Structure 1
Amino acid sequence: MADDIPEPDRQLKPFFDRIRLRDVLGPDEQVAIREAGRDRLQFAPGEDLVREGDRPMNSILLTRGITCRYRLVSGGARQLMAIHLPGDFVDLHSFLLKEMDHSVGALTACDAITFPHDNLVRVTERFPHLTRMFWLLTLIDGATHREWLVGLGVLSATQRAAHLFCEIYRRLEVIGLARDYRFSFPVTQTALADAVGTSSVHVNRVIQELRQRELITWEGGIITIRDWPALARLADFDDRYLHLSRERR
């Protein structure tokens, strides 16, 4: 039963689910991950987990909530470059790149676990397979960035929003946080506008269009996809870039 799962395992379950979807995760590897984690942190909506210019000594694993990777330009405009869900390392790349070239902010209330880089060094030296799994996660981040870049270049704002909803649903579905084409997405329309690269006024029109076409409903922070084939077709969505199949790696 779920109530019998120890709290550390419950917190790490989304991360383990992400890995197991794509490869086998051994018992010793799971123990190594548990032991590498240190502090449990909480963040309020709007709070930064890590800021541009920081030189983190830890990488942060999100266990509850939604965060975003973003940049601010000199005029104050914000562009979201990624959305992180439970089971995602929000800044694993800082393990090697050292200095943050963007910020990560909480879109909702969030829980997270820190993984000191010294601990990650020991894990990767002891478990080459886990090293490849961490590498895989950063490669999937890169694939997702490419998909977003294509969307910003050639899709309309309505298509980009539809694509984002398809992506979030698939990513939540594989960690057991979405089913029957319904999922929790309690973010503001301002954040959505920053993600799809448009204004808050325009993104409101986009949501109204998707509702009028009977593709989605969005009420009380819950999105229901009413016609998945039509929404995916509108968005030109293909989840291949998420690499959701199990392979020997």
Structure 2
Amino acid sequence: MSNRFLDKLLTFGTLDAETASAVEAATSQPRSLPAKHDLIREGDRPGPVFVVLEGWACRYKILPSGTRQILAFLMPGDCCDLHIGLLAEMDHGIQTVTSARVATISRELMDELMDHHPSFERAMYITQLVDEGTMRSWITSMGRRTSIERVAHLMCELYLRGRHIGLSDAPHFALPLSQIMLADALGMTPVHLNRVLKELRLHGAMALKRGSLSITDPAKLTRIAGFDDNYLHRHLRGAG
């Protein structure tokens, strides 16, 4: 079975056989977890680095009112923050969205991998930079993009990320996110999101059905979103 984490690291540069073997060994004992399982909660003491090998997860924060803001979606091959172990306590939670296989890399083992395998260290830092670029794009959406631009932009991002790891079969993409989850990620109510999705469908740009996203007119959806994938830093992939 392919190791999605190793596959992702290899898109950021060459790993020698010894390094690749070390990464595979570090993630060789994943746990199978159900959907809506908290890997870690806000206020918990940080532990290992979580690596999603199969399934989806999300970062989230619960407000005092009980409402939820989703901060990021984690796809197969993604991992949580490289330096999460430096925090005194978690400032957000991480939860599985679907059933998932998740490996853990202890702080000690992560330090060892970084110290002894420079190509692994470089690839991990690039993944961190891409995560930070994605967060900046989400902040921009929340602050300045209109509702329809915001929704279109997220759909473009998720589709592109999914296509890169082989999850999409153009123009279709299995998207295991409910409208409630998408609303929590976009800072909208589900009712408002539903209206925007209908508008995008009427524009002929995309259609979202239960568990599936269809991009009917990629150029139109990209134009509505004002989408530029530079923040995903794909130009770094394959660099030595």
Please tell me the TM-score bracket, short chain as reference.
Answer: over 0.9
1:191 aligns with 2:181: yes
Q: Hey, what's the Cα distance between the residues in 2 that align with 1:176 and 1:192?
A: 22
TM-score with structure 1 length normalisation? 0.90
SS at match of 1:147: helix
Out of 104, 110, 124, the position equivalent to 2:100 is 110
Distance 2:202 2:142 in 1: 23
- 1:201 corresponds in structure 2 to 191
Aligned to 2:143: 153
Match of 2:65 in 1: 75
After superposition, give the CA deviation of every residue in 1:106-160 in whole Å (9 maximum; x if it has no partner): 2222211111111111111111221122111111111110010001111122211
Question: 1:236 aligned to 2:187?
Answer: no
Stretches of structure 1 that go unaligned for 5 or more consecutive residues are: 1-6
Query: Which residue, out of 139, 160, 173, partners 1:170?
Result: 160
Q: Give the counterpart of 2:27 among 13, 20, 37.
A: 37
Structure 1 segments, 4+ long, off by >6 Å, are none
Number of corresponding residues: 239
Q: Distance in 2 between the 1:98 and 1:16 partners?
A: 29
Q: Residues 38 and 116 of structure 1 are in contact (CA less than 8 Å); yes or no, is this contact kept in structure 2?
A: no
Match of 1:126 in 2: 116
Residue 123 of structure 2 aligns with an amino acid whose one-letter code is: M
Aligned match of 1:3 = none
1:23 — aligned with what? Answer: 13
Match of 2:52 in 1: 62
Gaps of 5+ in 2: none
Measured after TM superposition, the shift of residue 53 of structure 1 is 1.7
Report the Cα distance in structure 1 between the residues aligned to 2:43 and 2:49, rounded to whole angstroms: 15
Amino acid at match of 2:13: D
Q: Which residue of 1 aligns with 2:202?
A: 212
- Quick one: distance in 2 between partners of 1:90 and 1:181? 29
User: For residues 131 and 96 of structure 1, do their structure 2 counterparts lie closer, same or farther at Cα, with a shift above 3 Å needed?
Assistant: farther
Return the offset for 1:38.
5.4
- 8 Å Cα contact 2:14-2:119 kept in structure 1: no
Paired AA for residue 147 in structure 2: A
What percent identity do the matched residue pairs reach? 35
2:11 is paired with a residue whose SS is helix
In angstroms, what is the RMSD of aligned CA positions?
Answer: 1.6
CA contact (8 A) 2:171 2:216 kept: yes
Does the 8 Å CA contact 1:93/1:138 hold for their aligned counterparts? no
